[in-house]
Chains A and B, each alone.
Chain A
Amino acid sequence: MTVNYLPKNRSKYVYVKRIFFLAVIFIFVAAVFPFLDTTIIAVASPIWRTINKILGSEVPPSLMSNQTQENILLELAGRKQKTNVVVASVLTRPPQTPYDVIIIDAGLNESIVIGSEVSLPEGPILGTVSEVFPKSAKVKLFSASGDETNAILERHNVPVTLIGAGGGNFRFELPRDMIVETGDRILSSDIAARHLATVGDVSVRPTDSFKEVLAKSPINIFALRFVFVAP
């Protein structure tokens, strides 16, 4: 007995129908999901908080009354910096997220707004708040891929533009004659001149007129636990 397994009765347009269905789903979800972000984050936050509690990543009381040395120096110079910072614990951090974005457990209820600066308790600045929800906020780190940040190379006081390379890394270019060494500090371009990154590697080819400098964040962003947010 001959058996023919060829699907003769199958419709020629079965793939077309399915591809059309996928395209509809794709566009529908792309249109609807941006409106659900507050709800989704509100539902997911308790899960992350519980995990943080289990892992012991809650804000220690000693951080609540911290005043950095920079603030004291600025105060002496007659330029007082805002001291009403909010301490927040980090709910999600890389590598949980494929992008250099962290979620913190402070939001609109703590007077945090879009653009608020986020820094470490030790001083180094990390990024800015990009999205705010009632009880949480998303912070885009300066090292997010393609993000450009104005900074100062401390060795020569030269302004540079750091380009985020993801994973807490940056890159920028300098003229090849300019001396830069591993370990040089890169500071923020504001009055506080806070530590932004540290030079990790310098690469230059004989034919290039510029050298590429790779820099890394002064802290391990994969182990972030608490941050300061200046509302």
Chain B
Amino acid sequence: MTRRLIGFVLILVSILILPYWIYIPVLFVGIVLFPFFWEGIVLTFFINIIHNVGTNFSVSLVSPLTLAALVALIVMLPIRGSLRSYV
């Protein structure tokens, strides 16, 4: 839980101060690494709100970044489920 929180804060800080070609890959790494990282959706909307214009409800729903995060999270569900963490 602590690692998850630290990961969330690190991604949040990187969104505020680092270039997009760092924080977007880091965000998707977080989605892959942390189990069921639904906070990733919040973070993509945060990116949209901070760095984009005209971010109303309909625009946010069809934003490529937020949709990509949602798809990645859904795809990761069965993949993580089929992975074994033991020998």
Give the B-binding residues of A (Cβ under 8 A): 5, 14-15, 18-19, 21-23, 25-27, 29-31, 33-34, 36-37, 40-41, 44, 47-48, 51, 92, 94-99, 101, 130-131, 138, 140
Q: Residue B9 at the A interface, CB < 8 A?
A: no
22 contacts between A and B (CB under 8 A): A22-B70, A22-B73, A25-B38, A26-B61, A27-B61, A30-B45, A31-B57, A33-B46, A34-B49, A37-B49, A44-B50, A92-B50, A95-B19, A95-B20, A96-B19, A96-B51, A97-B20, A99-B52, A101-B51, A130-B53, A130-B54, A138-B53
Chain B positions within 8 Å of A92 at CB level: 50-51
Rounded to whole Å, the gap between the CB of B68 and the closest CB of chain A is 12
**Distance of A80 Cα from B56 Cα, bound (Å):** 38
Cβ proximity bits B19-53 to A, threshold 8 Å, 1 near / 0 not:
11100100000000000101001100111111111
Q: Are A34 and B60 in contact (CB under 8 A)?
A: yes
Chain B positions within 8 Å of A21 at CB level: 38
Give the A-binding residues of B (Cβ under 8 A): 16-21, 24, 36, 38, 41-42, 45-57, 60-61, 65-66, 70, 73-74, 77-78, 81, 84
Chain B positions within 8 Å of A23 at CB level: 70
**Distance of A138 Cα from B50 Cα, bound (Å):** 9
A-B contact count (CB 8 A): 90
* Chain B, interface SS category: helix
**Distance of A50 Cα from B49 Cα, bound (Å):** 21
Interface centre among B16, B38, B53, B78 (most CB of A within 10 A): B53
Chain B positions within 8 Å of A18 at CB level: 36, 77
Q: Are B51 and A44 in contact (CB under 8 A)?
A: no
Chain B positions within 8 Å of A44 at CB level: 16, 50
Q: Which residue of A lies closest to B82 (CB)?
A: A7
